[in-house]
Amino acid sequence: MSAADHLTMLGFLQQLGGQLGAWFYVIAGGLAFAEAAVMVGLVLPGETALVVAGFAAHQGWIALWPMVAVAVGSAALGDSVGYEVGRRLGPRLRSSRLGRRVGEDRWRRADDFLRRYGGRAVLLGRFTAGLRALMPGMAGMARMPYLRRFLPWNVAGAVVWGAGCVLLGYAFSASLAAVARALTYAPLILIALAAAVLVLVRIRKKRRRVR
């Protein structure tokens, strides 16, 4: 979605915000969950709903930290469901009507990304809308170890992405246009931060081996 698309959606939801109230928890959390669980993210990125929820928290319609908790929990649970769907259905999902609508190009991109980054793809894919919806299912199809590899990267990505989107909406709530522009660059910033963390972890591991 372009910045203009985000702005239009944010403006629309702003008008409804005062009436929705606590339903923001359900709507935003549900979209964050469904993004990977049922591939809703290919149509409507969950980040938009979470940013709007951050705006709603700033307006006092909902509480900030409960919304952050809902965002993180929903994102992690949705990816876990997506993983299980991929693990159980495997190639049938890819060749299904839904899989064909996804498009072979997107599946191939997800394949290549997973092959290149391994477990880290679960975290890094979180910050790209198309990959965010497909990566958990692809990890399940590849039979990535759930507890040892998928779950830690899944939770880490959910914390950074879920909390980050809500706090972004909260911080920039004074200007919906600023939020829309920020959404264009925020994923790149989050990827850079995630890459920096991975580099630091590798350096520490190498130092331990040397000792």
pLDDT at 23: 81
Asked if pLDDT for residue 3 goes beyond 80, the answer is no
**Chain centre distance of CA 148:** 21
Go through the chain and tell me how many residues it has: 211
* Residue 158: pLDDT over 90: yes
Q: What is the pLDDT of residue 22?
A: 80
165-199, pLDDT tens digit by residue?
999 888 877 665 555 555 555 555 554 555 566 56
Model confidence at 210, pLDDT cuts 50, 70, 90, reads: low
Question: What percentage of the chain reaches a pLDDT higher than 70?
Answer: 71
Query: How confident is the model at residue 79, as a pLDDT?
Result: 93
**Per-residue pLDDT at 145 exceeds 70:** yes
Fill in the amino acid letter for 195: A
| pLDDT (0 to 100) of residue 172 | 78
Q: Which of 42-46, 70-74, 112-116, 180-184 has the lowest mean pLDDT?
A: 180-184
pLDDT, tens digit, 9 for 90 and up, residues 79-136: 999 999 888 887 787 777 767 777 778 788 888 888 888 888 999 888 887 788 888 9
Backbone φ/ψ region at 103: left (φ over 0), alpha (ψ -120 to 50), beta: left
Q: What is the pLDDT of residue 151?
A: 94
Q: Are 8 and 49 in contact (CB under 8 A)?
A: no
Say if CB 82 and CB 137 are below 8 A apart: yes
- Whether this prediction's pTM lies above 0.85 is answered by no
CB 111 within 8 A of CB 130: no
Q: pLDDT band at residue 18, thresholds of 50, 70 and 90?
A: low
> Three-state SS string across the chain, please?
CCHHHHHHHHHHHHHHHHHHCCHHHHHHHHHHHHHHHCCHHHCCCHHHHHHHHHHHHHHCCCCHHHHHHHHHHHHHHHHHHHHHHHHHHCHHHHHCHHHHHHCHHHHHHHHHHHHHHCCHHHHHHHHCHHHHHHHHHHHHHCCCCHHHHHHHHHHHHHHHHHHHHHHHHHHCCCCHHHHHHHHHHHHHHHHHHHHHHHHHHHHHHHHHHHC
CA distances from 62 to 26, 57, 125, 168, 181 (A): 11, 5, 29, 15, 24
Choose between 5 and 66: higher pLDDT: 66
pLDDT at position 128 is 80
The letter for the amino acid at 35 is E
Query: What's residue 171's pLDDT?
Result: 84
Look over the chain and give the mean of its residue pLDDT values, rounded to a whole number. 78
User: What pLDDT is stored for residue 159 in this prediction?
Assistant: 94
